[in-house]
Amino acid sequence: MQIYDAISFQEIVDSGGSTYPWRVMVVDEDKQLKPFLVKMFTERQLTQQHAIAKELFGNMLARQFELRVPDR
């Protein structure tokens, strides 16, 4: 898994979910500026709802069914 440093905050995406992801700009490994969405979880979501595991399982299932998912 790649780890990127956010260079700037762009906006909070407030439609279509409960986590309100942030759109940020990052510099990738090729030194290119790219937009990324960062999901924000509360402490309660992480401890009671296993939010990160759900994201991972959802991504893996989507790939199995050949649905479009981010490359990274």
Write down the pTM of the prediction: 0.60
Q: In this structure, what DSSP letter does residue 68 have?
A: -
- 20's CB contacts (< 8 A; 6+ apart) are 12, 13, 14, 40
pLDDT of 22-68, one tens digit each?
Answer: 999 999 888 889 998 888 888 888 787 787 888 889 889 999 999 98
CA-CA distance, 8 to 24, in Å (whole number)? Answer: 6
Residue 25: Cβ-neighbour burial (10 angstroms; 0-12, 13-18, 19+): middle
How would you list the strands of the sheet with 22-27, edge to edge?
6-12, 22-27, 33-38
The answer to whether residue 1 scores a pLDDT higher than 70 is no
Identity of the residue numbered 41: F
Whether 21 has a pLDDT exceeding 70, the answer reads: yes
